[in-house]
Each structure stands twice: as C-alpha cells, then as structure tokens.
Structure 1
Amino acid sequence: MKEEELSEDKQPDFLLTIHFPADSANPQRFFAAASECIDALQACDKMLLKSFPTSIQPVFVLEQVQNGSLKIWLRQFLEAVDDDALKTLDWKPAIGKYLVKGKHLLLKRLEGRKGLPPSEVLRTVADELHELAKESDALRLPAYARLTEVDIAEQAKIISSSLSRLRPGEYISLGGDDGEAVIDADFSVTDEDINNLLVSQTLESVREIILMVRKPDFLGESKWDFRFDRKPMSVSIADKDWLSEYQKGKKDIRPGDALRVNMKESVSYDASGEVVSVEREIVKVLEIKRRQEQGSLLERVGK
C-alpha cells in the first residue's frame, strides 16, 4: 500500500490541547496524557471508518507543539488503497473532513458530562455520524454502514481511559473549523457502565473446547492468555481445585501445551441484538494436552 497525502489547501488540521495550571506537579504526566489522547483519537478514526466498506488507514502527523498548556497541532493523513468501492474522484479530502468533523461531533456530545450518556443520546450520535458519512459522498454506491450505540459507548470508554493521568480541574480540548470541544478530567466510563446502560439480554452457554496455552497465570488471580483458531483469547479459570493443584506444582504446564476444558461464555446483547460484551471462564479443566515434539512425530511417521 502506498501512503498518499492530502494537498496543502485541502488538508484538515485540528488542535489537541492539554489544559493544566502553570504550577502543576509531575509535568511528565501531561506528555503521557497527550500520547494517550492521540491514541484515543486514532481509535476514534478507526471506529468512524467502519462506515466505509473499504480499507483506509488513518495516520496523524505532528505539525507543531506550542508552550503554555500543551498544544499539539495534528494533521490528518490517509493511507490510500485501490478499491472499487470508492469513487474515482479525489476522495481523500472528503473522508479527511469527515474524520475531523466526526471526532469533533463525538467529543462535543460528551462535553460537560461526567459519565456515559443515556442510550438515546448514543443513538442520536450514531445517527448524526451516519449522516456525516453519507455527506462525504466518497463511495460509488451509497452503502455507508451505521455505527452502533455499542461503538459509541466503547469509544467513550477509550477517551475516558486517556484522561486517567489528569487531575480535577485539568481537561483536554479539540479545536478546529467547527469550534472547540472540551472534556474534563473527571469524565469516566467503565465496562460496568456500558453493561448497565446497554445490556438487554445475556445468554450463557458451556462448551468443550481445546485452548493452546500462551501465558499461564502463576498467581491464579488474573486471566490466562490462550490461543484459539489462531487468535489470542484471555480467559479466567474458575476451576479452583485444578488451580490449587497447579499452584502447588502438581500440574505441569509447558510452552506449547493445551488445555481441554469446559468453558462458559456469557454474551450480553443490547435491545437491537448487537453484542455489548463477551465474558469467558473455564469452569472445568478436563485434560492437559502435551505439545507433540517434532522429533517424536517424525520417528512415528518413519516406523
């Protein structure tokens, strides 16, 4: 893929500012907060681009840093791909404008709030972002996917996490052609908030499954890292008897081993059927499956 830049006269710019008193202690935390806020804005762009049935990658470029409160000018670049879904016109300025407006719109709807907005507000934001995507007119066919309330809620949580280093009275702002949107340091969204607001139904099931061990938890207080279907999966082990034997050294887990287990999966849905969260735990460890060494396998094949 080739990275292409927007022309200077069409390049959308925006200003991220970390606001804090001049005599604030531990100033290094503001630079860490700035980095985390930029990560949150990039995550927001990836969410916004879900409206387009094509692979476009957003890239931020640092243009300027100003003193006083930490002011960071960022430029929006797009990594271009050949895709028949896009019009042949220069779509990059249109989508770049959509991303800048979308970020501002989302932050503006969160402005002045201490926590996650009500579900009807999330629904309105999703509708507004859908209209913004359609206004970009970047696709050959008007097939712009609508973001869900879950998408908006999850992005609010990411923004909340990026503010964790700030203290009461400190805040961030995003400025651009559409004005300034401000988010206070005490804005907070947790997984529990999302579940309480959005979950309409939770379905539970238990299935037998084999999980490849990537990283055991030696203390037994957190999730184990597994691999399933070539993808990472973190799962807690609720089989206390098996865990006790493992922690006493009676169960030997080696790199590359696998566990045959009964795993309970709890999937929570919102009222429209969208998945809000997935929780997994191993309720019973049935067997340790040893990694098959290549040498021993070749020996058996040769016999």
Structure 2
Amino acid sequence: MSTTITLRKVLVNMDNQYKDNQFCITVEYEKLESNPEQIFLGIAKLIEGLQYTDKQLVGCIAKDIEPVVLLDNIEQGSIKIFLRSVIESIPDEGLEKCDIKRIIGAFLVKAKYAILKATSQNETIQTHQLDQLEKEIDVYAEDTGASILGCYTQVDRESIITSMARITDAVDTMRPTDRVKFEAEIGGSVHTISIPKELHVDDDVTDSLAKHEVINQNTFILKIHKVDFMGNSKWEFRLGKSKISAHIEDDDWLKRYKTGKIVLVPGDSLKVLMEVKMQYGKGYDLICTLFKIIKVLDVIHTEEPIEENLF
C-alpha cells in the first residue's frame, strides 16, 4: 500500500502527468503493521518541512512573498492527498503584472528537487557538495526566470541545511518500514528521489555556520540500533523515540568490545556519559545537534531491568 501526496504550485491537474509545477510525495507502507498514526504524524511534519523550504527559497526573491499550501483532494484506496502551493501575496504591483506566480512556482519545485537529490545522494553532506547544490539552484533560478526578476539572491546555506534536517526528521517520524519518495517533472522527464530518514552533515560545515553553541554533559541510556565494526564511524542509537548517531570516545571500552570481552546482542542498551553540542545559526535557529559518548558506564542487556528513567 502507498500514500501519495501531490503538491503543486498552481492549478491542479488530476491526470497522471506533471503539469503546472506539480510534484508528488509517495509514502509506501506495509499493511496491517502497528502504529499507523506514525505515518500521518510524519506526513504532517513533512508538509511543514516542505513549507519551511518554500519560505526559505522564496526569500531569495523577496522577503514579503508568502507561499501557502492548500489541500485539493483526498482519494480513497491508496490514500492520495493532493495539495498545491500557491503564492498568497506579492508586495510589488509591478511584479504582479508579469507571470511571477508561475515563475516562482516552477523555481520552488526545481529547487526542492535539487535539495532533496543532494540529501539522498550523499551519506554525509560536505562543503563541496553544498557548493554544487547552490550552483544547481542558481541554474534552476535562471531556467525558470526567477533570477531575472531583479531581486534574486542566492539561498542561504544555513537555510538549506535546516530544510534538509526538517524533511529527514519528518520521514524518521514514520515507522522503520515506511518509505517516502519525491517525484517531479524536471527537464521534460519525471524524476523520483527516495527521501532518507536521517541527515549527516560534515562537522566542518556545521562549525562554519554555527554562531552560537550550547554544550552539556549528562548520563543517558541509549538503545543500540547499529554498532560500528570498522572503528571509525558513528554508532546509531535510539534516545527515547529519536534516532541519534554518536562517536564513542571511550577507547578502553572500545578495546574490550573489539577483543570480544564485551558481548552485545540485539536489544541491548548502553548507559553512558554523553556530550550534547547544540549549534545555532545567526537567527538562533537550531542547525544541528551533535552527540559524543565520553564514557560507557554500563551495558544493559535485554533481560536486565532499567532501574531509572534517565531521559
């Protein structure tokens, strides 16, 4: 079964062709699995993430232009939700005389496609990939005519990272078996992108964008999701309902684990002293949260009761 969300910028076309700046979000899910509410919570957060992205992209043209998302239709069967994004207001009367709503709508679809493509193709977003993404967005601005409106400026890099994070966080809200795809017509052909559930950004990128940092250390219990067998990558954990990735800096514990003195099985947890670094941009918007395990205090096996809730 799948849930298909179609969003477009202007008139809705109910056939299978992508016209008038239309794009589609499809959620593929397993039937008869538990926690179905997570699908709809994820869809709501995903729409909010796309709205945020539209707002940041429109800001490249004029701060006073307001994009909105409207509900067109909901179909039964595979539960197709049709939405459309439109430009609510344009501050300049001169701009209203040209087809600016269609121009901006086309730009928003293509720029979102570029952002999502970069998100899906790179395990870790690095500086040179962001450079390439910004150039691609500029090309789409030129192709659609957005850059010749006289007020276009390049999209803010911090906004790109935040948009990526909001969209992937929304997909991560869904169940592990749920899959989300973005589809749009780009350059005369339909392109489909799988949206990942998590975003990894190179530390050099976030450090260059961060204007403010808050660092705390505390004790946490982390459910092990994926271990590191290579010795140079991050472990994946569940902290409450959130998935996080963290390096383990406790070399003594890692040595005992790698030599087989510590045995981990599925369902085990680690009680750890962890450093949490929250990095904020110039507007005090949270760019990212970085986790680093300073010391492993204990291994909690599946059959062992947890004495206290530490998060």
TM-score range relative to shorter protein? 0.5 to 0.7
- 1:129 alignment partner in structure 2: 137
Structure 1 gap segments, 5+ residues each:
205-266, 280-303
- 1:165 alignment partner in structure 2: 173
Off by >6 Å, runs of 4+ in structure 1: 201-204, 276-279
Matched-pair contact (CA < 8 Å) for 2:168–2:195 = no
Give the number of aligned pairs. 206
How do 1:252-267 residues align onto structure 2 when only pairs under 5 Å count?
Answer: none
Q: Which residue among 13, 21, 26 is the counterpart of 1:12?
A: 21
Q: Using the TM superposition, name which of 66-75 and 93-102 deviates more.
A: 66-75
- 2:193 alignment partner in structure 1: 181
- Normalized against structure 2, the TM-score is what? 0.56
1:51-84 deviation line (CA, Å, top 9, x unaligned): 1034111111222334566543221211122415
After superposition, the CA RMSD in angstroms is: 3.5
Give, in whole Å, the separation in 2 of the partners of 1:28 and 1:100: 28
- 1:222 alignment partner in structure 2: none
Larger radius of gyration, structure 1 or 2?
A: 1
1:99-158 deviation line (CA, Å, top 9, x unaligned): 1111122112212445x4111111211221122223333577533111132221111111
Give, in whole Å, the separation in 1 of the partners of 2:110 and 2:127: 22
Give, in whole Å, the separation in 1 of the partners of 2:41 and 2:184: 23
Matched-pair contact (CA < 8 Å) for 2:158–2:209 = no
Matched-pair contact (CA < 8 Å) for 1:51–1:130 = no
- Normalized against structure 1, the TM-score is what? 0.57
Give, in whole Å, the separation in 1 of the partners of 2:146 and 2:211: 39
Q: Residue type of the partner of 1:188? A: L
Matched-pair contact (CA < 8 Å) for 1:17–1:70 = no
How do 1:91-106 residues align onto structure 2 when only pairs under 5 Å count?
Answer: 91-106=100-115
Q: Which residue among 29, 37, 42 is the counterpart of 1:33?
A: 42
Identity of matched residues, %:
24
Give, in whole Å, the separation in 1 of the partners of 2:285 and 2:70: 35
Q: Residue type of the partner of 2:138? A: H
Q: CA deviation at 1:201?
A: 8.7
Give, in whole Å, the separation in 2 of the partners of 1:95 and 1:118: 28
Matched-pair contact (CA < 8 Å) for 1:15–1:176 = yes
Matched-pair contact (CA < 8 Å) for 2:146–2:152 = no
1:235-283 deviation line (CA, Å, top 9, x unaligned): xxxxxxxxxxxxxxxxxxxxxxxxxxxxxxxx989xxxx849689xxxx
Give, in whole Å, the separation in 1 of the partners of 2:180 and 2:285: 31
Give, in whole Å, the separation in 2 of the partners of 1:44 and 1:81: 18
Structure 2 gap segments, 5+ residues each:
1-8, 14-18, 213-277, 287-311
